[in-house]
A and B are shown apart, each in its own frame.
Chain A
Amino acid sequence: MTAMPSDSWSAERGTASVPDHDGSASEAKTVQASLAEPARFGLIFDRYFAEIHRYIARRLTSDAADDIAAETFAIAFRQRGRFDASRGVVRGWLYGIATNLIGRHHRSEIREYRAIQRSAIVTAADGQAEPADVLVTARIVRGQVAQALAELSRGDRDVLLLVALGGLSHAEVAEALGIPYGTVGSRLNRVRRKLRARLSDSGLGTGPEETDRG
């Protein structure tokens, strides 16, 4: 029997046992080391599986996320030799694989947005530690936001959701989508302007932009 190491990292972001993103260089080394010692890739799985699952579930469904998140790590493990440890960002790389797989479910994603748009049931996100006015406004315009997202091109939607749902930095978005770092900011701004204009047409004004992590 081949024993794999016991899990020592928490799968949840933000817990004390998980390295922060300044650990990206060590994560890259872990991926590289896993070429000779495959078991080390388990650390990457433990670190990111729940986070990737959450991102996929927020774009598709939880059921789809069970399968697609698993496939993301199977692909990542299989292709870990192609990861450039000297320059690559592990988090961005994993999100990139997940985003590609989500792309195969393009129609499912659009169907979800259309369903939100049509649905008369508006449920506020539970457990959100945000001011009440944010939640109320979100309930009101949910349909318009869903419609606007459905109308975006796939590439624009990927950029926007990697930042909005995944919380990726520009460097990580560049890694995920295989686009130059320098274009991420301009592309994101363009998509946000498009979204803002679409929401404005629907009668909703938007306030100041939050700062993007660059």
Chain B
Amino acid sequence: MDELKLVRYLRPEPQAPGPEVVSAARKRMWQHSRRRGRLRLRTGAVVLGACAAAAAVTIALIPGSKSPANRTHPDGGLPVFVLPPGAAGNHAASSGAARRILLDAAQTVAVGKTPPKGRYWEIPAVTGNFIPVGRGHDRYLVLEKSTFDLFMDRLRRSSPQVVQALGVDLASRADRAAWRRAGSPTTWRVNKVFGLATPNGPVDGEDHDLTTGRGPLFDIGSMSRAQPFEVGYTFLSYRQLLALPASPRLLKKLLFKGWFPSYLGNASSYLFRTVPTVLDMPVTPGVRAALYRMLAGLPGVRSAGQVQDVAGQRGLAVTLTERYARCGQYTQGHFVQTGTQKVRATTKDGKRVWAKLKVGHTVGGYLFSSCVVQQRLVINPATGLPLSQELRFRKLPHGRHWSAPGGLLSYELFGTPQWTATLPHRDPHGG
């Protein structure tokens, strides 16, 4: 007698899952689509506020001045988001000016030092995403703000992505009026993307309850692997990261490994949004400089000159503007009726009904049939390091509009990446 067989026969063979179970599971999986895929547009995590549990909290705390929320105008309710006066920049600036900004940044970072290694490399950030909410003809735009901290465990055991909701603003006064007409809700079920959105607009993320006020700190996905440092689509160990070549050509080759063109954009837009993620890794100064030189060689990169980012930080901005088709895909969150597996749906005349959801289909669509989006990278000229990234709608189809100031749809404020000895305490139920 074999003990493995004894274990195998311990319990009866279970029944195969029925078609309803399979169908429900498949729908649940699609509802969790997150089209950013691997592209964690890491932000130099700017962590505002302290974690609730005191033990083992080592998140870098940045003064609240980095939060755009401090610049809004509350009016007895949710604040309205306002851009700083210098946010627009100089859109007439040339590609030559962009090249100079990037090559200057390359020279500045080239004289930096590689920090001595620690246990976890922390990349802190604060992100903001404008999300359409509401129903029918009275939809409005809210800004959800979160911290977004990436931890990379050099010893492979645990590399979490830790987020904390920082509250909600309204995009404009008109949105606030619509919010009031909707009864001034404080909770919305939305498709939320964690981190910076992709250039083709707010994408379907995960169904998530958005609430006003600060949320718990929770982990949206840990990995335990020997190569936690994500460079494009390739995962590297710390040793491999340090061994990266300080060559724009070879770095570009590595970044393109595993990439192929898709609705997420072309090669230039992919590099433009991926390079900042690598700049914040504990790479050598030579690699940082090479990354900037790579950006300097990208076609279509323009300078926006001196700008203030959403947190009011002053820096030099470079931009890349592209047209995208099918912008802002979303899936509609389902409320599934127990027993019938029907979902709530809205008929053409606005009536809410329970309806069968066809297998293989999901309810949703696209916000816009096309869009032109500007990616903006703001660089601190003193350090050569990125201050923030922003995405703005520059053009929408005729008759469509986006009420956020400056066409802003997503931003990411970088903090100071550093080694840290411990992980923050996370709420296991927060996600």
Residues of A within 8 A of B (CB): 1-7, 11-12, 32, 35-38, 41-42, 45, 49-50, 53-54, 57-58, 62, 65-66, 69-71, 73-82, 84-85, 112, 116, 123-128, 130, 134-135, 137-138, 141-142, 145-146, 149, 160-161, 163-165, 178, 192, 195-196, 199, 204-210
Contact = CB atoms under 8 A, between A and B. Distances in A.
A161 B8 CA distance: 8
A116 B39 CA distance: 47
Contacts of B382: none
B231 to A, nearest CB: 13
A35 B38 contact: yes
Q: Which 6 A-B pairs have the closest CB atoms?
A: A81-B38, A57-B14, A70-B25, A35-B37, A36-B262, A138-B9
A62 B3 contact: no
Q: Is the interface of B mostly helix, strand, loop or mixed?
A: loop
Nearest to A161: B7
B338 interface: no
Contacts of A58: 11, 13-14
Interface string B1-35: 11111111111111111000110111011111111
B5 A130 contact: yes
Interface stretch (B361-369, B370-378, B389-397): B361-369
A60 to B, nearest CB: 10
A126 B10 contact: no
Given A58-B14, A146-B10, A164-B7, A2 B329 contact: yes
26 contacts: A2-B364, A4-B30, A4-B360, A4-B362, A37-B262, A38-B35, A53-B16, A54-B14, A58-B13, A66-B17, A70-B21, A81-B37, A82-B223, A124-B9, A126-B13, A134-B5, A138-B10, A145-B10, A160-B4, A195-B3, A206-B1, A206-B2, A206-B3, A206-B6, A207-B2, A209-B4
Contacts of A3: 360-361
Contacts of A81: 36-39
A26 to B, nearest CB: 16
Nearest to B40: A81
A214 to B, nearest CB: 14
Most buried by A among B29, B206, B235: B29
A112 to B, nearest CB: 8
Q: Is the interface of A mostly helix, strand, loop or mixed?
A: helix
B221 interface: yes
Interface in B211-267: 221, 223-225, 227, 233, 235, 258, 260, 262-264
Nearest to B15: A62
A165 B361 contact: no
A53 B362 CA distance: 23
A178 B30 contact: no
A125 B16 contact: no
Nearest to A188: B4
Given A79-B223, A116-B11, A84 B235 contact: yes
A179 to B, nearest CB: 10
Contacts of B15: 57, 62
Nearest to B25: A70
Contacts of B25: 45, 49, 66, 69-70, 73
B331 interface: yes
A78 B331 CA distance: 15
Interface in B19-78: 21-22, 24-26, 28-39
A2 B264 contact: no
A138 B362 contact: no
B190 to A, nearest CB: 16
B362 A165 contact: no
A49 B22 contact: yes
Contacts of B329: 2
